[in-house]
Amino acid sequence: MKQTILIIGLGLIGGSLALGLKRNKDVSIIGYDADSHTLRTAKRIAVIDEMAMQIKDATEFADIIIFATPVNETIRLMSEMSNWQLKDQVIVTDTGSTKNEIMNAAIQLKEAGITFVGGHPMAGSHKSGVEAARAHLFENAYYMLTPFEDENEEKVKVLSDLLQVTKAKIVQVNAKEHDHMTAVVSHFPHLIAASLVHQLAGENKAFPFTKQLAAGGFRDLTRIASSNPIMWRDITVQNRNELSNQLNMWTNEMIRLQNLLLHADAEDIEAYFSTAKQVRDELPITTQGAMFAVYDLYVDVPDYSGVISEVIGYLAKDNINITNLRIVETREDIFGILVISFQTMDDRAKAVTCIAQNTTFETYIS
């Protein structure tokens, strides 16, 4: 029996979810977006099967409703659901980056007999919009589900089974656990990256060459500070309590580090860096984590005319897609002068093989 899925919000996540779910031939996707151009584009490029010009036009047909909208907009739309005509067994979910506020808002749906299961696919891209949507976006990424503790397990299983076709790793946690863990490994690092860039901006006024030196490791370390400021404004506000706790812990850690520096005990300082290296080296590299990952490959190329186009030519010949490339001039703690970025780990692995087969250049993965 064919399932009808209504996806509200057709950006990168909503569009990619539509394409991923369409791998299941027993699924029909109806799409809605407040931007009519986005909606028509989604239909034209076959991201969705049918368009809904108004949300109410499609809710009565939907077995599953997915909000792929910003958290604040999702909460607003959830408050309107009492005016929608819904199927008796409809399952509602979302894709928001924070879950506590969503699940609190979903209590009114639960009281009205509507099943709501919070969701968060932990994947992203350097591009945005429906035209950047890709069916493989969620492959090997964690897809967190946050059902109510007393939710009907069969309903949760229906949603989980539906999402399996995206090849994501489906994990169930409660909303509080979700927001705490994502604060630690995703939201708080964005604050730190932004603060480091602010510090650089201040230093650059007195030492203008600082920005040039930041083109190497500093730029990589703070990559996430280039993320959408509106999205991160909302995430920071929504998860402010967890982030405040993390900031307190970070402050204590910085005081500890400052004391190490003031005492200048070489062994203690070495141990500090050694422990950090050990923990970092033990982090998994075979799956996507909570933050959008760009898969960088560092290539130690010699300095002669045409060497970059040579390397890119080999990759193009093997149909290996790249998302970005740049030359690194400040290379302290960074191997390789040419940095090539890929969207998937598989593409990067193919590139390593390709370059090894065609050149003697060394490649490195950090």
Structure letter (DSSP) for residue 53: S
Residue 332 corresponds to which tokens in the numbers above? 């302290």
Q: Note the pLDDT tens digit of each residue in 44-97.
A: 999 999 999 999 989 999 999 999 999 999 999 999 998 999 999 999 999 999
Written out in words, the top-level CATH class of the domain with range 3-173 is alpha beta
Q: What residue type is assigned to position 138 of the chain?
A: F
| Dist CA 175 CA 163 (whole Å) | 19
Closest CA to 159 of 167, 170, 150, 149: 170
Q: Where are the domains of the chain?
A: 3-173, 178-281, 295-364
Q: Note the pLDDT tens digit of each residue in 271-316.
A: 999 999 999 888 876 555 555 566 888 888 887 888 889 999 999 9
Q: Which sign, positive or negative, has the C-alpha torsion 246, 252, 257, 258?
A: positive
pLDDT of residue 331: 46
List, in sequence order, every residue forming a beta bridge with 339; answer none if it has no partner: 298, 326
Question: At CA 209, angle to CA 207 and CA 215, rounded to 5?
Answer: 130
Q: Which helix (H) or strand (E) holds 196?
A: helix 188-206
Structure letter (DSSP) for residue 34: S
pLDDT of residue 200: 92
- Quick one: residue 140, left, alpha or beta (phi over 0 = left, psi -120 to 50 = alpha)? left
Instruction: Domain 295-364: give its CATH architecture.
Output: 2-Layer Sandwich (3.30)
Q: Note the pLDDT tens digit of each residue in 119-132.
A: 999 987 667 899 98
Closest CA to 178 of 237, 244, 251, 122: 122
Helix (H, G, I), strand (E, B) or coil at 277: helix
Instruction: Domain 178-281: give its CATH architecture.
Output: Orthogonal Bundle (1.10)
For residue 209, pLDDT over 60 is answered with yes
Q: Note the pLDDT tens digit of each residue in 140-171.
A: 889 999 999 999 999 999 999 999 999 999 99
Mean per-residue pLDDT over the chain, rounded: 90
Helix (H, G, I), strand (E, B) or coil at 189: helix
Q: Note the pLDDT tens digit of each residue in 216-250.
A: 678 878 888 888 888 889 999 999 999 999 999 99
Q: What percent of the chain has pLDDT over 70?
A: 94
CA–centroid distance for 273 within its chain: 28
Residue 225 corresponds to which tokens in the numbers above? 């500070």
Q: Which sign, positive or negative, has the C-alpha torsion 108, 114, 119, 124?
A: negative
